[in-house]
Amino acid sequence: MFHKTGQILSRLIKQWSPNKPRPAADQNEPLSSSIQVNLNKISSVFANASDLVIRQLQIGTREQTEAFVVYLDGLVEKTIVNDNILEPLTLELRQAQANGGVSRKRVLALIKKQVLSVGQVKEATTVQAVIDAVLSGETVIVIDGSAVALVANTRGWETRGVQEPPTESVVRGPREGFTETLRTNTALLRRKIKNINLKLETMKIGKQTKTDVCIAYLKGIVNDKLVEEVKRRLAEIDTDSILESGYIEQFIEDAPYSFLPTVGNTEKPDIAAAKLLEGRIVILTDGTPFALTVPYLFMEAFQSSEDYYSRPFYSTIVRWIRFTAFFLSVFSPAIYVALTTFHPEMLPPALLISMAAAREGTPFPAIVEALGMGVIYEILREAGIRLPKPIGQAVSIVGALVIGESAVTAGLIGAPMVIVISITAIASFVVPAISDVTAVMRLILTVMAGIFGQYGIMMAVAGILTHMVSLRSLGVPYLSPLAPTNIPDLKDVLIRAPWWAMSTRPRVIGWHRPVRQKFHLKPEPPSDTNRDRT
């Protein structure tokens, strides 16, 4: 009895299990040679789709053949459909039959090779292939008597023009940025790198959205094992939707539980091209202007494309300003909390008296003030970003002034804390690529400083550095070339060496082909002989 009961329960579990294999859908069936059967299948799949357009027509004069054209309104360029598909089908075939006649068996080949004047024409043999083509913005021609449909590339939806990205604006350098259209983005890369070794491989990810994702790399410069690893990670993504590159980033990163990013992103084609030339891989996603770059190193957050377009002396100074701003953004609240709570003897007497007078009468300890002001700052920042720009700027400025002045006047918060938070906020804008990382680090250090003082800061820094050293980005050490130290690569970390001195690619990434330019390219003044001639 128990054996039979177990068998019944096992059958019920298998029957209702969500992981059981589903029966094959009708879409996987091959196309029929009957045009009416194909029309009924496509119409049933796109039932209640008001944007579906099916144009039935008869082609030829002596031996008329039934056919229909199907596409989705809004995803195709109507001019191409009318002038390059519908008009040739109705007029040119009629003239061809009038001049000598075309048999029904030759209609398909004639249409593909002579009638359709579009750039790309493919064949589809299954209902699923027809559906995928229509959903991708292509036009499908189905002919009676043929189990093969023709797919013409007529994509032409509304797109945003190429503009300067607001997140990576520069004073000197290209002003163009990626858009939400994949083919526009690949064309921008092709304009930067006119090389047949630039490979662009496209795959579809997302069972419901079927988003086009493109892998870009330079053959001969990139490590082939790195390309295979990226392809493997992308192929393992089994999800319903990919709506932005951030989805992919969280599926392929090395350390999903780390607050540090191991996958980079950019909106600028020149930055993506520079990373490709170093041996990295760029992942483009249809529907978003943000391209992913791997491997990604922590020091890339302090590098800007403008550094390489300006003279190296000022670029080095600006890079050190970024390092200083990062230090202030992360450590300022923690150091203030530690000094005022545990180590006031480390402050000069005059400064200590001034700070004590400013904090006299405040009801909260320094750590509560720091955390409270940090939360208020994040609220104001989010309000300024999410609201419309004219209103957002007013809310940020008025909110900061009113709340800060009112809090100090009411004696809830000391004036030095407002100054510290202001310095922290301004410094965090200098390195926007890791603004979320600085916020997490700042919170950890502030809490540790409020509990243990400077010893808490030292413990937190040691823990964060240990975590950063252990991280990898597709096998590349996250803190390289600092840890492990690679002296030749330091020419683009703490300083920005002149271009004539950067003859090699980053060794941890471009070791496959390390030399990128000729050595001894340092410019020199003309010799005395040439000077005398002039």
Residue type, 496: R
Cα gap 210→425, rounded to integer Å: 40
> Do 172 and 116 have their domain in common?
no
- Residue with the bigger pLDDT between 301 and 89: it is 301
Stretch among 19-28, 36-45, 71-80, 347-356 having the lowest mean pLDDT? 19-28
> Do 227 and 285 have their domain in common?
yes
| pLDDT value of residue 118 | 83
| pLDDT value of residue 326 | 94
* Cα-to-chain-centroid distance, residue 33: 44
Q: Is residue 501 part of a domain?
A: no
* Cβ–Cβ under 8 Å, residues 362 and 414: yes
| pLDDT value of residue 18 | 47
> Do 285 and 434 have their domain in common?
no
> Do 230 and 322 have their domain in common?
no
Q: Is residue 429 part of a domain?
A: yes
* Cα-to-chain-centroid distance, residue 475: 20
pLDDT tens by residue, 171-212:
888 889 999 889 899 999 999 999 999 999 999 999 898 999
- Burial environment of residue 81 by CB neighbours within 10 A (0 to 12, 13 to 18, 19 or more): buried
| pLDDT value of residue 381 | 80
pLDDT tens by residue, 18-39:
444 444 345 578 888 888 888 8
List of E strands, 244-380: 264-266, 281-285, 291-294
> Do 339 and 473 have their domain in common?
yes
Helix or strand (DSSP H, E) at 393: helix 389-409
Q: Dihedral of the CA atoms 336, 338, 342, 344 (nearest 10)?
A: -30
| pLDDT value of residue 8 | 57
| pLDDT value of residue 334 | 93
Residue 163's closest CA among 140, 181, 144?
Answer: 181
Q: Which of 69-83, 103-117, 282-296, 373-387 has the highest mean pLDDT?
A: 282-296
Q: Is residue 505 part of a domain?
A: no
Q: Does residue 54 have a pLDDT over 60? A: yes
> Do 145 and 215 have their domain in common?
no
pLDDT tens by residue, 394-429:
666 666 666 777 777 777 787 888 888 888 988 988
Q: Is residue 483 part of a domain?
A: no
Q: Is residue 503 part of a domain?
A: no
Mean pLDDT of the chain: 84
pLDDT tens by residue, 309-335:
988 899 999 999 999 999 999 999 999
The CA distances from residue 274 to 225, 263, 506, 508, in Å, are 20, 16, 12, 16
Considering 430, 462, 477, which residue would you say is the last residue of a domain?
477
> Do 473 and 370 have their domain in common?
yes
The boundaries of the domain holding residue 191 are: 166-296
> Do 182 and 218 have their domain in common?
yes
* Cβ–Cβ under 8 Å, residues 266 and 272: yes
Residue 219, both tokens: 């053959």
The verdict on pTM exceeding 0.85 is no
| pLDDT value of residue 405 | 72
Which DSSP category does 519 fall into? Answer: S
| pLDDT value of residue 393 | 64
* Cα-to-chain-centroid distance, residue 218: 19
List of E strands, 167-316: 198-205, 211-218, 264-266, 281-285, 291-294
- Burial environment of residue 466 by CB neighbours within 10 A (0 to 12, 13 to 18, 19 or more): exposed
Cα gap 450→337, rounded to integer Å: 6
pLDDT tens by residue, 481-510:
888 888 888 888 888 888 888 888 888 886
pLDDT tens by residue, 445-469:
999 999 999 999 999 999 999 999 9
Mark residue 365 as left, alpha or beta (left: phi above 0; alpha: psi -120 to 50; beta: remaining).
beta
> Do 268 and 361 have their domain in common?
no
Spatial neighbors of 11 by CB under 8 A, at least 6 apart, are none
Q: Which of 104-113, 356-365, 491-500 has the highest mean pLDDT?
A: 491-500
Q: Is residue 511 part of a domain?
A: no
The CA distances from residue 247 to 149, 251, 265, in Å, are 34, 7, 12
Residue 156, both tokens: 């032409």
Q: Is residue 393 part of a domain?
A: yes
Residue 146, both tokens: 């043929």
Q: Is residue 301 part of a domain?
A: no
Residue 278, both tokens: 């170093």
Tally of CA atoms within 13 A in the half-sphere of 336 that contains its CB: 29
Cα gap 402→410, rounded to integer Å: 12
Cα gap 471→476, rounded to integer Å: 8
| pLDDT value of residue 23 | 40
Q: Does residue 280 have a pLDDT over 70? A: yes
> Do 267 and 328 have their domain in common?
no
- How confident is the model over 224-232, as a mean pLDDT? 93
Stretch among 64-73, 172-181, 250-259, 388-397 having the lowest mean pLDDT? 388-397
Q: Does residue 434 have a pLDDT over 80? A: yes
* Cβ–Cβ under 8 Å, residues 508 and 486: yes
SS3 323: helix
Query: Residue 247 — pLDDT band, cuts 50, 70, 90?
Result: very high
| pLDDT value of residue 178 | 93
> Do 103 and 173 have their domain in common?
no
| pLDDT value of residue 2 | 40
* Cβ–Cβ under 8 Å, residues 292 and 384: no
Indicate the number of domains in the chain.
Answer: 3
> Do 318 and 457 have their domain in common?
yes
Residue 512's closest CA among 279, 306, 327?
Answer: 279
Query: Over the range 409-430, which residues count as b (16 or more CB within 10 Å of their CB) and which as e?
Result: eeeebbbbbbebbebbbebbeb
Q: Is the dihedral of CA 412, 417, 423, 424 positive or negative?
A: negative
- How confident is the model over 505-530, as a mean pLDDT? 78
- How confident is the model over 40-51, as a mean pLDDT? 87
The CA distances from residue 309 to 302, 306, 315, 512, in Å, are 15, 5, 9, 26
